[in-house]
Amino acid sequence: MSDNKQLINLCTQIRRDIVRMVAAVSSGHPGGSLGCVEYFVALYQSVMHTKQPFDMNGKDEDLFFLSNGHISPVFYSTLARSGYFPVKELNTFRKINSRLQGHPTTHEGLPGIRIASGSLGQGLSVAIGAAQAKKLNNDSSIIYSLHGDGELQEGQIWEAAMYAAGNNIDNIISTVDYNGKQIDGSLEDVLSLGNLKMKWEAFGWKALEIENGNDLNQVIDGLNLAKSLTGKGQPIVILMKTEMGNGVDYMMGTHKWHGSAPNAEQLESALNQLNETLGDY
C-alpha cells in the first residue's frame, strides 16, 4: 500500500467494514468511526513506523493509543487490514467470546491494542506515560493518541495536558477528532469547548489544525508536519476537523449515528455508496 489510490481504496473498504460490523450486531458507534477513517489509514499506512509481530512494549516503534474507545470499528478494521490479525475476525465484533470487544481491550490479547479504553478521558495520560518510557529507554519513536472532542469535557484530559507541557513531553502527537458532535447533540448544545485552540495553547501545547480530516492527503501532511515539530520541548496537538458519519449520506450532518447501527435496509443503502475495493471480510 504505497500510492494514494490504494490508500483511498483502503479507506472505502474500511468504511464498508465499519457499517457491516455494527449492522451485524445492531450496536456500536459508526459515526465517529467513519469520520476517522483517513486518520487511521494515514497513521498505519503512511506516518507511523511500526513493527510486526505485535509486541506490547513496542520498543523502537511508534505507538498509537485510542482514547475514545467507542470508535473501535475503525481501529479494528485498520489493524486487521494492516496485518495485525486476520481480516475475517472482524466478523466477531461485539459477539460472545471475541477478541474484538465493544471497546478495545488488552484483556483478550488482540494484537495492536496496548490499553483498554472506553471510559473516556484516560488515554492522554496513558500516552504520556508511554512517551516518558520512550525517553527513559532512549527510544526516539513517537507516541500518537486520538481523542474525541466531546471527550475533552473530561477533567483528566486537562490534568494530562498541563503535565505534558510542564514536563516538556515533546515526543507525543495527540489528535482531536473535532467533529463537533457527541451523543446528546452538538458540542455547542451539550457543553461548549469554547476556543479549543486557545485552550491547548494556554496549556502550553503546540496546536496545529487539519481543515479537512476526511481528505487523506491533508491528514498525512498534517501528521508529517506535526512529526517535524517533535523534539522541540513542546507536546503537539492537532485539531482535526472531520465529519461524523463521513461516506454514508444519511449519517452525515447529524449526531444521530454516534451510537446507533443501521438496520438491514440502511446497511444496503450504505454499502451501495461504498464500493467493495479490497474484498469484504
Partner 1 sequence: MKNFEVLGKQDTRSGFGAGLLELGQKNNQVVALCADLTGSLKMNAFEDAYPDRFFQIGIAEANMMGIAAGLTIGGKIPFTGTFANFSTGRVYDQIRQSIAYSNKNVKICASHAGLTLGEDGATHQILEDIGLMKMLPGMTVINPCDYNQTKAATLAIADHVGPVYLRFGRPKVATFIPENQAFIIGKALLLNEGTDVSIFATGHMVWKAIEAGQVLASKGISAEIINIHTIKPLDEEAVLASVAKTKCVVTAEEHQLAGGLGESIAQLLARKTPAPIEFVAVNDSFGESGTPDQLMTKYGLDAINIIEAVEKVIARVDKQFV
- Residue 97 in grid coordinates: 467470546
x/- mask, partner 1, residues 57-76, rule CB under 8 A, reads xxx---x-x-----------
Cβ at position 131, least distance to partner 1 in Å:
7
Cβ at position 203, least distance to partner 1 in Å:
13
**Binding residue count for partner 1, defined by CB under 8 A:** 40
> Burial of 163 by CB count in 10 Å (0-12 exposed, 13-18 middle, 19+ buried)?
middle
Which of 124/244 has CB closer to partner 1?
124
x/- mask, partner 1, residues 10-49, rule CB under 8 A, reads ----------------------------------------
Which of 34/113 has CB closer to partner 1?
113
- What distance lies between CA 24 and its chain's CA centroid? 22
Long-range contacts of 271-278 (CB under 8 A, 24+ apart): 271/16, 271/19, 271/20, 273/247, 273/248, 273/249, 274/12, 274/15, 274/16, 274/19, 274/247, 274/248, 275/12, 275/16, 276/13, 276/16, 277/9, 277/10, 277/12, 277/13, 278/9, 278/10, 278/13, 278/81
Which of 71/87 has CB closer to partner 1?
71
User: Which residues in the 106-135 window bind partner 1 by CB under 8 A?
Assistant: 106-107, 114-119, 121-134
In the chain, what is the greatest distance between 2 CA atoms, to the nearest angstrom? 53
User: Which residues in the 139-198 window bind partner 1 by CB under 8 A?
Assistant: 139, 155-156, 159-160, 162-163, 166-167
Taking CB under 8 A as the criterion, the residue among 51, 56, 95, 195 binding partner 1 is 56
- Does an H or E element contain 146, and which? strand 143-148
Cell 440502511 locates to: 266
Which of 15/134 has CB closer to partner 1?
134
Which of 106/228 has CB closer to partner 1?
106
Which of 7/161 has CB closer to partner 1?
161
- Residue 74 in grid coordinates: 475503525
Which of 65/281 has CB closer to partner 1?
65
Per-residue exposure over 245-278, b if at least 16 CB sit within 10 Å of its own CB, e if not: bbbbeebbeebebbbbbbeeebbeebbeebeebb
* CA gap 273, 44 in Å, rounded: 24
Cβ at position 163, least distance to partner 1 in Å:
6
Cβ at position 84, least distance to partner 1 in Å:
16
Give the binding site for partner 1 (CB under 8 A): 56-59, 63, 65, 105-107, 114-119, 121-134, 136-137, 139, 155-156, 159-160, 162-163, 166-167
